[in-house]
Amino acid sequence: MYPSLDGQHVFITGGGSGIGASIVEAFAIAGSLVTFIDIDINASKALANQFVNVTFEYCDIRNIETLQSVIERSIETNGPIAVLVNNAASDDRHAIESVTQEYWDNCQNINLRPHFFSAQAVLEGMKKLDGGSIINLSSNSFMLKVGGMPGYLASKAAIVGLTNALARDLGPHKIRVNAVLPGWIMTEKQRTLWMTPEDEKELLATQCLKELIYPEEIAKLVLFLASDQSRMITAQSLVIDAGRA
C-alpha cells in the first residue's frame, strides 16, 4: 500500500482489460480516485461497477480533441490529475508487405500520439499540484528485435524517447516521467490469440526467472512509480520481463 496515492486523481488509458484493468484495480484498492478510458464498453462498465472510486468514460484515443475533452471533464469532477498512466495500445501483427500508409498512421495514432497529448492535457493541473507522475507503457519487444509487427515496435521505441524528452522538460515542475517496458504478459488476449504451448516453452527458456508474468506484476511497478516512494526517479525505462534475453 502507498499512502501517498490515497485520494489522488489517477487517469488511465486503455483500462478496460488486460494490463490496464489490473492497473485500474490496483489504484482503486490503494484508495485513488480513478478515471479510465477504453473502447470496450461492456468490460469497462463491469470493471468500474466493482468500485465506488472508479469512473469509466468511453473514448477512442485516436481522436485527440475527444481525448483531451474527456481529461478536462475528469479534472472538473475529481480535481487535477496527479498520476497519468498511458497504457492503451494495439499490438496487431502485420507483415511489412501488407502495411499501407493508412495502417501505419492508425498504428501510431493508437500507440504513440495519445501519450503526448494526454500528457499535455494534464500538465497545468500537475503544476498546480506542485508535481505529478506520468507513466508510459512501452514494451521490451523493440529491444528484442521481435518480428512481425514493425509499426508496433517503432511506436514502442518512440515512447522511450518521448518519455526522456518529457522528463527533461517537466522536471522543473516536479513532474516525473517514466516508461515501463513489459515482456510477454499473460493477458487473456495474449493467451487466446498468440501464445501456444510451444511459445510458452520457448519463452520460459529465454527468461532468467522461469515463471510466466501476469498483468498484476505490471500494476505493482506502476503503483510504485506513481507513489512518493519513487519521488526521485524520472527519465527511466524499467523493463519487467523476468530477465528475458
Distance, CA of 151 to CA of 171 (rounded, Å): 30
Residue recorded with cell 510477454:
184
- In 91-187, beta strands by DSSP E: 132-137, 175-182
* Strand duo 83-86 + 54-58: pairing: unpaired
DSSP β-bridge partners for residue 132:
175
Catalytic choice (2, 58, 103, 152): 152
Residue recorded with cell 500528457:
119
Distance, CA of 11 to CA of 136 (rounded, Å): 12
CB 88 within 8 Å of CB 20: yes
Collapsed DSSP state (helix, strand, coil) of residue 101? helix
CB neighbours (10 Å) of residue 30? 21
Active site residue 152: yes
Grid coordinates belonging to 170: 517537466
Which DSSP category does 215 fall into? Answer: H
Active site (catalytic) residues: 152
